Structure 1
Amino acid sequence: MKIDRVFVDVDVQNDFCLETGSLYVKGSPNDLYRRLTAHAVARGIPILGSVDSHAWDAWEFGSNDVPPPEDATKPNFPDHCVKGTPGWLKVEGTLPPRFRFLPNVPEAPLASVALDELLQGKTQGVYFEKEVYSLFINPLADPFVRDLVAATETPPEFFVYGVATDYCVRAAALGLAERGYRTALIEDAVAGISPEGVARTFDELRSAGVRITRSTEILG
C-alpha cells in the first residue's frame, strides 16, 4: 500500500487546548488542528494520535495522596484528562468521521483490527491512550507503528503536531526518530509551556534528525 504521510496528533484534548481546560497550554492553535484533520480526511492521510487518559486517582494529581512509582517524582498536576469527562475529550473538529481508541494495555485484539482498517481506508484515525508523556508508553503503539510502516511501499514521513511542545510532543517526535522513522515537526501547529523549554526541545529534535516544517508545506 502507498502511504506517503502519516499525521501524529499529540494530546489535542479540551483540558490542554481550551482556555477553560485545567492544564491549558497557552496559544494552542486549535483552528489549525481542525484544518489538518480535515485535510487528512479529504486526502486519505492516516492519523495516529495520543490521548492523555487518567482515572480520578491518578498518582500525578495533587488532589490525592497516591504515591508515584519508584523512579518518578509526583508533579502534583491539577486533575486533568480524566477519562469520560469533558476535559478528556478531543477538541471539537479534530476527530475524523471514523476512528478507534486503543487502551493502554499489553495486548488488545482491536489493535490488529484497527491496523487493517487503517490500511484499507475504513478507519481514518487511531488514538493511543497513555498516562505519561510518551505515545510509546502504550505497549500497543510500538508494534502498531512498526507494522504500519512495514505494510507500506516506501516508509512514510510522520508529521507531528499538538501539545505541549516541550513535553508530550517532544516525547512523540523523539520516539519516532529514535526508532528510525522519518519524522517532521509542524512548528506552527504546536504550543509549549515555556520559551526555554521549547527552544531546548527544537534543538534536541534537530539533533535527533527531526525535520522542522510548517503547515504551509502540507496545506499549501
Structure 2
Amino acid sequence: MARALLIVDVQNDFTEGGALGVRGGAAVADGVTRYLRAHPHFYDLVMASRDWHDPDGSNGGHFADGLPDYVDTWPRHCVAGSPGAEYHPALDTSLIDVHVRKGQGVPAYSLFEGTTDEGTSSGEALADRGVTEVDVVGIATDHCVRASALDAIAHGLHVRVITDLIAGVAVDPSAAALAEMARQGGELVPSASIAVA
C-alpha cells in the first residue's frame, strides 16, 4: 500500500497572467512546494499533470474557432512547448517523480486521461507502484481537479482533496465541485489536518 500526491495542472497558463489564469494559482504553486518540502517522506510517489495541447488544429474542438463558451471550448492555452504550458516557476519540479501530459490533440481534463513520459497511462503508473491512497492538489477546482479526483475515486483509490492547495475559476462552481467530490467518497481536508508520519 502506497500513498501518492497528484498535482494537477499547476502551469503558467492557469495562473495569474496566463491565458486562463485563475486567481490564487501562483499561491497554489508556492503552497504545494512548501508542503512537500515540509513533509519530504510522506508520499511514496509525487505525480504531476500538465495540459500539453497540439499547436495546430482545435485539439478535438477543445480550442474555440470563434468565441469560447468556457464549458466545452476555450481560448488557446498550454500549447506544447510554449511558456504557458510549463509548470509555474514556484512549483519545485525536483520534487516530482512522474510527469504526465494530457490533451494532445483531444480535450482532456483529468490527470487520468494523460500518459507519463514513458507512455504509460496515469492509472497504470499508480497501480504499478501499489498506490491505494492519493491526495489531490492543483488547478482548477471546478475543472481538472474535479475530473482528476472523481477519476481517482472511480479507479478505486482513497482520495483526499487538500482544500488549501487548490484554486478554482469561480466560487459557486468550485463549491459544487467540492460537494460532488465529497458525495462520491472523496475527503475534503486542509493540509494542516493531514497526519504526517
TM-score range, shorter chain: 0.7 to 0.9
Cα offset for 1:33?
A: 2.1
Cα offset for 1:49?
A: 1.7
Relative to structure 1, the CA distance from residue 168 to residue 37 in structure 2 (aligned partners, 3 Å threshold; closer, same or farther) is same
Relative to structure 1, the CA distance from residue 74 to residue 180 in structure 2 (aligned partners, 3 Å threshold; closer, same or farther) is closer
- CA distance in 1 between counterparts of 2:57 and 2:112 reads 19
Larger radius of gyration: 1
Correspondence for 2:170: 194
- CA distance in 1 between counterparts of 2:195 and 2:10 reads 19
Correspondence for 1:16: 14
After TM superposition, the score normalised by the length of structure 2 is: 0.80
Please say if residues 15 and 21 of structure 1, whose CA atoms lie closer than 8 Å, have aligned partners that are also in contact.
yes
- CA distance in 1 between counterparts of 2:47 and 2:172 reads 28
The number of residues matched between the two structures is 177
Correspondence for 1:38: 37
Q: For residues 98-133 of structure 1, give each alpha carbon's deviation from its aligned partner in whole angstroms, at most 9, with x where no partner exists.
A: 7xxxxxxxxxxxxxxxxxxxxxxxxx5212100110
Correspondence for 1:129: 101
Q: For residues 175-208 of structure 1, give each alpha carbon's deviation from its aligned partner in whole angstroms, at most 9, with x where no partner exists.
A: 1111111110001111111222112111111111
SS state of the match for residue 97, structure 1? Answer: helix
Structure 1: runs of 5+ lacking an equivalent: 66-72, 99-123
Correspondence for 1:90: 87
Correspondence for 1:209: 185
**1:25 paired residue among 22, 26, 31:** 22
- CA distance in 1 between counterparts of 2:57 and 2:9 reads 17
Relative to structure 1, the CA distance from residue 198 to residue 39 in structure 2 (aligned partners, 3 Å threshold; closer, same or farther) is same
Q: For residues 18-67 of structure 1, give each alpha carbon's deviation from its aligned partner in whole angstroms, at most 9, with x where no partner exists.
A: x2211101122232122134245x326221121100122242223x58xx
Relative to structure 1, the CA distance from residue 219 to residue 26 in structure 2 (aligned partners, 3 Å threshold; closer, same or farther) is farther
Amino acid at match of 2:159: T
- Runs of 4+, deviation exceeding 6 Å: none
1:32-71 aligned at under 5 Å gives the runs 32-39=31-38, 42-43=40-41, 45=43, 46-59=45-58, 60-62=62-64, 64=65
1:131-146 aligned at under 5 Å gives the runs 131=103, 132-138=108-114, 140-146=121-127
Correspondence for 1:7: 5
